[in-house]
Structure 1
Amino acid sequence: MSDTSNRRAQFGWAFYDWANSAFSTTVVAGFFPIFFKTYWSSGHPAETSTLQLGVGSALASLIVLFLAPLLGAIADRSRRKKPWLAAVTGIAVAATAGLFFVGAGQWLLALSLFVIASTAFFLAMVFYDSLIVDVCTPADYDRVSALGYGLGYLGGGLLLAVNVAMTLWPEAFALADRAAAVRWSFLSVAVWWALFSLPVFLLVDEGRDADTPSAGRAMREGLTELRLTARRIFSEKPVLTFLIAYWLYIDGVHTIIRMAVDFGLNLGFGETSLITALLMVQFIGFPAAIAFGWLASKWETKKAIYVGLAVYAGVTAWGYFLAYEWQFYVMAAVIGLVQGGVQSLSRSYFARLIPDGRAGEYFGIYNMMGKFAAVIGPLLVGVTAALSGSARLSILSVLVLFVAGGWLLTRVDAREAPGAA
């Protein structure tokens, strides 16, 4: 592959982050928690809607927990990661568009569509993440992974900014009111996601060979390989230790992303202020994620992850004492500096640990661990809030995940990993 075509493939791969980040910003972190609480579940107490949202998020993660490793193994055997990526992206886009048609008070239908879209979003990441080994060499993993997250923050932030403008000035967009603006925002995410997913399918070649097995054979071989891989990982100490560490600390990251807006609402902060803070995370996250990729190349990937986890731990502890909206802005800005770095460098560091030819299987388990963690996090926050009646206490419970995950990461030696050979 020439340098030009290689760069195009890397850009096409990274641009999928630009496409799907609209869902994680406008839907997951932004409008869905607010709209769910104030429109679809408006007749319920705040603690009840928080619990409903936590259960829905946990259910999506639980489904991914079982499907991600299997689909990753099948994709490896069939050498068809791109068709699988296209299929789950289509499901996610359709479910997201469906939110446009959900009426007031229909919280169960809204939550069901959200679970479907979230499940497909997470499964798509299995195939997308594993394609990194097809577009660059290990020496470029940090840079290309950081480029993806950087583009994700920028793309997600740009569409979120438009969506925020739609809700603030609906009449300028010929919309009846703010509720109509939010519903149209969900539809815009679906269109954005579908349109900007095209580069990964047009520019990335996953290197399928002549001995591509049939779907049935790929499924049988995938199941066999998955069982072998699961047993193999228990004998690969660096991979197993990293997965457990990642399971813990990414739980904290995902929980903060999913529940931050709901946390702010429970503290009485205004919706506009919360969305503005989310926008800050996106636009600060764009250059910060790129910078973390550079930092890892000049310093060390694990050390750069430590920096991010230390900042997260400090911010979580500080969150317990939040009293004013300006403090929420500061917290958002600090999170924006490290969020993309922790996520992108975790992906690139894991890519270095795994053996050749098994990216789908290993990234399936990698994503399974991340989503299994997300089963615990939202439930932990939701149940703590419901039992204690304190949003502050629920957010503080996340702190232990960053501390435990960071400590376990110190026990990982990449030189002993199968990928090092």
Structure 2
Amino acid sequence: MTGDRRAVWSWALYDWANSAFATTVIAGFFPIFFKQYWSAQHEATTSTFHLGMGSALASAVVVLLAPTLGAVADRGGLRKPFLLAFTLIGVAATAGLFFVGQGQWLAALALFVLASIGFFGGLTFYDSLLVDVAEPARSDRVSALGYALGYLGGGILLAVNVAMTLSPESFGLADKGEAVRWSFLSVAVWWALFAWPLFRYVRENRPARPPAPWAAARAGVRELWQTFHRIRAHRAAWLFLLAYWVYIDGVHTIIRMAVDFGLSLGFESTALITALLLVQFIGFPAAVAFGYLGERWGTRKAIYLGLAVYAGVTAWGYVMTTELQFYLMAAVIGLVQGGVQSLSRSYFARLIPEGKSGEFFGFYNMMGKFAAVIGPLLVGATAAVTGDPRAAIGSILVLFGIGAWLLTRVPAETRTA
């Protein structure tokens, strides 16, 4: 670490803060509440289509913005200001969900898209700040700390929100619907509160003489086009981005579609949320363990292990029939999900040139978000063609295989100058 442990923990706490949105909103309550409350007047397939298109739109916006803004942020030392802007967008839109009434599916979807843009757009600048708080030799452990706190924080708030929906009267609420709406508001407050330490204590390494914002914007956009050539000049970086794009597609698709998949099999929503809690609380110690495993065994080997487990879980999902099996599948995913994500982030941080973290992480997050566009569309299209949700889940299996093979083509991890 750089010596400022407070900066490290403040940086990692942002994962604790925004993971509440990933768990309670994206993976948990929004898909269920959207289908059963805001879009109850539509057929199930129609609401699923709307949700998929909304998710894809949010990811597409981030795909278009992330590389350009990353380049601008590097030129002007603006990673923290950009992170603040996206955080405020996400917090405000999430809070807005509290005020959306029953049947107002378009308003709910619009706010969800805005909140998702705030969440995913901010990750570009949050991830790039890793190089300011951790030396390369410690990046595995620090990155894993962030993901571990994310699983714990997101899981704690989700557990409270689940308790609110199971027993609304204990919290002075009228019914389950009101409890869910208050859950969205609690996510906004949680996100804002625990994001604050990063903006207070993390120091961004800025250029000695940063240009004016407008000059930084012009230079950043111009430099963006040069980044394509620079990435190609760093063979390890662009090969890793290609591998990452393929295998993280599978990871993100499982995260986003797991609840919808369980609903398609007829599982109770309560059981699905319980399984999500399992992922969160198992993921906390598992992410920390993967950080140590990456340091001792090798980052790439540890990623291979995670992808092999994911492939096995995907194949298992094709034949799954009971809620108990869904619980077991969630537990196994919790063992590797944070590890694959955190080690991918720290692995890439060691491959990029000095002074280009925002720019290169812009492309890193672009690849991840572009996967989040294609993955749900792949599952949805397969389900539409075959009429079988199991076949849709099975289609993800090939992504892990191709991603792992591409990772073998990446040269040894070395920070470039």
TM-score bracket for the superposition, by shorter chain length: over 0.9
Q: What is the Cα deviation at residue 42 of structure 1?
A: 1.3
Map residues 281-320 of structure 1 onto 2, 5 A cutoff.
281-320=279-318
In structure 2, which of residues 88, 91, 97 is the aligned counterpart of residue 90 of structure 1?
Answer: 88
Task: Indicate the residue corresponding to 2:371 in structure 1.
Answer: 373
Deviation sequence 1:341-367 (CA, Å, 0-9, x none): 000000000000000000000000000
Task: Indicate the residue corresponding to 2:272 in structure 1.
Answer: 274
Task: Indicate the residue corresponding to 2:205 in structure 1.
Answer: 207
Q: Which amino acid aligns with 1:318?
A: W
Task: Indicate the residue corresponding to 1:153 in structure 2.
Answer: 151
> Runs ≥4 in structure 1, deviation > 3 angstroms?
none
Task: Indicate the residue corresponding to 1:47 in structure 2.
Answer: 45
Map residues 22-33 of structure 1 onto 2, 5 A cutoff.
22-33=20-31
CA distance in structure 1 between the partners assigned to 2:224 and 2:344 by the alignment: 22
Deviation sequence 1:247-286 (CA, Å, 0-9, x none): 0100111110011001101100001100000000000000
Report if the CA contact (8 A) 1:18-1:148 is conserved.
yes
Q: Which amino acid aligns with 2:346?
A: S
Map residues 218-367 of structure 1 onto 2, 5 A cutoff.
218-367=216-365
Report if the CA contact (8 A) 2:152-2:284 is conserved.
yes
Task: Indicate the residue corresponding to 1:384 in structure 2.
Answer: 382
Q: What is the Cα deviation at residue 315 of structure 1?
A: 0.3
Q: What is the Cα deviation at residue 228 of structure 1?
A: 0.8
Secondary structure, in 3 states, of the residue corresponding to 1:269? coil
Q: What is the Cα deviation at residue 208 of structure 1?
A: 2.6
Deviation sequence 1:71-93 (CA, Å, 0-9, x none): 11111001121111111100000
Deviation sequence 1:300-329 (CA, Å, 0-9, x none): 000000000000011011101111000000
Report if the CA contact (8 A) 1:47-1:385 is conserved.
no
Secondary structure, in 3 states, of the residue corresponding to 2:319? coil
Secondary structure, in 3 states, of the residue corresponding to 1:320? helix
Task: Indicate the residue corresponding to 1:399 in structure 2.
Answer: 397
Q: What is the Cα deviation at residue 335 of structure 1?
A: 0.1
Q: Which amino acid aligns with 1:269?
A: F
Q: Which amino acid aligns with 2:311?
A: A
Q: Which amino acid aligns with 1:9?
A: A
Q: What is the Cα deviation at residue 210 of structure 1?
A: 4.1
Task: Indicate the residue corresponding to 2:160 in structure 1.
Answer: 162
Q: Which amino acid aligns with 1:76?
A: D
In structure 1, which of residues 172, 175, 181 is the aligned counterpart of residue 173 of structure 2?
Answer: 175
CA distance in structure 1 between the partners assigned to 2:409 and 2:390 by the alignment: 32
Report if the CA contact (8 A) 2:71-2:359 is conserved.
yes
Report if the CA contact (8 A) 1:320-1:396 is conserved.
yes
Q: What is the Cα deviation at residue 2 of structure 1?
A: 7.5
Report if the CA contact (8 A) 1:40-1:107 is conserved.
yes
CA distance in structure 2 between the partners assigned to 1:35 and 1:390 by the alignment: 23
| Runs of 5+ consecutive residues of structure 1 not aligned to the other structure | none
Secondary structure, in 3 states, of the residue corresponding to 2:89? helix
CA distance in structure 2 between the partners assigned to 1:208 and 1:69 by the alignment: 18
Deviation sequence 1:52-71 (CA, Å, 0-9, x none): 21111111111111100011
Deviation sequence 1:77-124 (CA, Å, 0-9, x none): 011211111111000000001111111111111111111111111110
CA distance in structure 2 between the partners assigned to 1:21 and 1:2 by the alignment: 25
Report if the CA contact (8 A) 1:353-1:414 is conserved.
no
Map residues 2-41 of structure 1 onto 2, 5 A cutoff.
3=3, 6-41=4-39
Q: Using structure 2 for the length normalisation, give the TM-score.
A: 0.98
- Over aligned residues, Cα RMSD in angstroms? 1.2
Report if the CA contact (8 A) 2:76-2:207 is conserved.
no
CA distance in structure 2 between the partners assigned to 1:53 and 1:131 by the alignment: 31
Q: What is the Cα deviation at residue 231 of structure 1?
A: 1.7
Deviation sequence 1:18-60 (CA, Å, 0-9, x none): 0000000000000001111111111222222222211111111
Q: What is the Cα deviation at residue 298 of structure 1?
A: 0.8
Q: Which amino acid aligns with 1:124?
A: G
Task: Indicate the residue corresponding to 1:184 in structure 2.
Answer: 182
Q: Using structure 1 for the length normalisation, give the TM-score.
A: 0.97
CA distance in structure 2 between the partners assigned to 1:313 and 1:55 by the alignment: 26
CA distance in structure 1 between the partners assigned to 2:346 and 2:110 by the alignment: 33
Report if the CA contact (8 A) 1:284-1:336 is conserved.
yes
Task: Indicate the residue corresponding to 2:139 in structure 1.
Answer: 141
Q: What is the Cα deviation at residue 386 of structure 1?
A: 2.7
CA distance in structure 2 between the partners assigned to 1:407 and 1:208 by the alignment: 37
Secondary structure, in 3 states, of the residue corresponding to 1:208? coil
| Runs of 5+ consecutive residues of structure 2 not aligned to the other structure | none
Report if the CA contact (8 A) 1:309-1:402 is conserved.
yes
Report if the CA contact (8 A) 1:352-1:414 is conserved.
no
Report if the CA contact (8 A) 2:72-2:217 is conserved.
yes
Secondary structure, in 3 states, of the residue corresponding to 1:414? coil
CA distance in structure 2 between the partners assigned to 1:168 and 1:373 by the alignment: 34
Identity of aligned residues (%): 69
CA distance in structure 2 between the partners assigned to 1:359 and 1:368 by the alignment: 14
